[in-house]
Amino acid sequence: MKKSRRNFIKTTSLSIASLGSSSFLTGFSNKFPERKLGNQYMGDFKAPKIKNIRAAFIGVGARGGNHLKSFASLEGTEVVAISDLYEDNVLREFKIVSEIGDEKRHQNISLYWGDENKWKTMLKDVKPDIVFVATNWNNHAVMAIESMKSGAHAFVEVPIATNIKDLWNIVDASEETKKHCMMLENVNYGRDELMFLNICRKDLIGELLHGEASYIHDLRFQMREENRGTGSWRTLHYANSKGNLYPTHGLGPVSQYMNLARGEDNFKTLVSFSSPALGRRLYAKKNYPKEHKWNKLEYKNGDLSTSIIKTSLGRTIMVQWDETSPRPYTRLNLIQGTKGILAGFPTRIALEEGFKNLSKDHHSWIQGKNMKAIYEEYDHPLYKKLNDKNTSLGKQIAESGHGGMDGIMIYRIVECLQNGLPMDQNVYEGCFWSAVTPLSADSIDNNGAPQSFPDFTRGNWKKTEPLKIIS
């Protein structure tokens, strides 16, 4: 299927390929820094098996605390250290994880708080097998790199980094240390996203042509966190940055449907535009005194960012981001093929040949209560295995957050480490998906001019295996 799909799209995209040498394109370079001698390509990397995984956590204020509980609940795991700026966060999570443990697990946990660099001390003192990073975006890269250099695999919240230099530094550190660095894109493990992946692999919608991905989520309420918490630092990004600041929730699944950076296709170029920046300023004016710090910010970033990605095979992906406008939540999650379409929010499907007695053709959606038959037929085997609420593991995962996707993600990390398997998301995928942020900013600053994606794999994506339908 991989070969036929590639050949099919190549025959329909010659005109696209010819544009690569056109003079109006800017920001284009296929060059990449040479891989250092002794470094190893990490696309299908299998680390030595770890029977009992010793984990340290940096940042447990929100996401980090959820990851800690999911990890600690699995067999063959041990929490050995917790680090956070705030003592109350550390002590709260320590109490929770201590109650999860028994006489053998989670009983010797080192605790660190108060100083911004205590996490460095933690890495030296504890020397964990793996480190979870869930902190301010600006810290992700340095914490991931130092974790790998200390001998640990790194698992980093989204985005994995916010600029191209840091993304390359993460790649080089992973290749040098031969340690996994996986971005914690939980949406790849959502029920619908897993099912869509399964359907794509079964060729039900034909050759893939176009995807749509978004993070539309009104988060203005986070501005109430004025001095501590996500809003205290994320609001500054809205003011001082440009482009799509949070692309990975929508883009991650669509990328894996298309096998981007995995043997079949890869990211090539991006163009981006933004709407006027109005919503944050109006929200601050309405909810805070004139002299409040939120009313002194300029708010440069547009409320809605729209990017179009072009792949090497000529496919397109529309990526949108809006955390400001008053509208319902959506990730779009759309994939169009030559024989049908899968779409999200609401979840629905249309097939050229129809499906059983639910639709005759592609002119009507299968949706609502009729989706039950689709789930019964195409639910991903991993989801079906791990969401059996009649088992203790299934109940635990169902309660892990975001419809169970958080728990499935942590389960897979542990399973892969214990069995010496490649990660479902490799370091290059995390970097490609995160690169949308700086590239979209550059495109906006250049009146929508195309920007080329760095090839973080240095050409090795062509020999990387697509993600299998694991069970």
pLDDT 10s digits, 70-112: 999 999 999 999 999 999 999 999 999 999 988 889 999 999 9
DSSP H/E element including 209 = strand 208-216
Q: What percentage of the chain reaches a pLDDT higher than 70?
A: 93
Q: What pLDDT shows up at residue 394?
A: 86
Q: Mean per-residue pLDDT for 366-380?
A: 98
Q: Exposure string (b/e) for 228-259, b if CB count within 10 Å is 16 or more?
A: eeebebbbebbbebbbbbbbbbbbbbbbbbbb
What digits encode the pLDDT tens for the residues 129-176? Answer: 999 999 999 999 999 999 999 999 999 999 999 999 999 999 999 999
**Start and end residues for every CATH 3.30.360.10 domain found in the chain:** 188-383+418-463
Q: Does residue 242 have a pLDDT over 60?
A: yes
118's tokens:
């205590």
* 3 state SS for 351-368: ECCCECCCECCCCCCEEH
Q: What pLDDT shows up at residue 8?
A: 46
Q: Binning pLDDT at 50, 70 and 90, where does residue 390 land?
A: confident
Please name every residue paired with 402 in a beta bridge, in sequence order, or none if there are none.
none
Determine how β-strand 451-452 pairs with β-strand 366-367.
Answer: unpaired
Are 197 and 425 a contacting pair, CB within 8 Å? no
Q: What pLDDT shows up at residue 246?
A: 98
**Start and end residues for every CATH 3.40.50.720 domain found in the chain:** 53-184
DSSP H/E element including 2 = helix 2-11
What is the pTM for the complete model shown? Answer: 0.94
Superfamily of domain 188-383+418-463, CATH level 4: Dihydrodipicolinate Reductase; domain 2 (3.30.360.10)
Determine how β-strand 208-216 pairs with β-strand 334-337.
Answer: antiparallel
Question: In whole angstroms, what is the distance from residue 356 CA to residue 208 CA?
Answer: 23
Are 218 and 190 a contacting pair, CB within 8 Å? no
Q: Binning pLDDT at 50, 70 and 90, where does residue 416 land?
A: very high
**Sole residue written with tokens 């944050």:** 280
DSSP H/E element including 15 = helix 14-18
Which stretches of 390-466 are DSSP H helices?
A: 392-398, 405-419, 427-445
Of the candidates 295, 242, 305, the one whose C-alpha atom is nearest the C-alpha of residue 273 is 305
Q: What pLDDT shows up at residue 4?
A: 52
418's tokens:
């214990």
Query: 10-14, 34-38, 299-303, 467-471: which has the minimum mean pLDDT?
Result: 10-14
Are 322 and 303 a contacting pair, CB within 8 Å? yes
Question: In whole angstroms, what is the distance from residue 267 CA to residue 249 CA?
Answer: 17
What digits encode the pLDDT tens for the residues 248-286? Answer: 999 999 999 999 999 999 999 999 999 999 999 999 999
* Residue 144 neighbours by CB under 8 Å, 6+ apart: 131, 133, 154, 156, 160, 161, 170, 173, 181
Determine how β-strand 348-351 pairs with β-strand 340-343.
Answer: antiparallel
Superfamily of domain 53-184, CATH level 4: NAD(P)-binding Rossmann-like Domain (3.40.50.720)
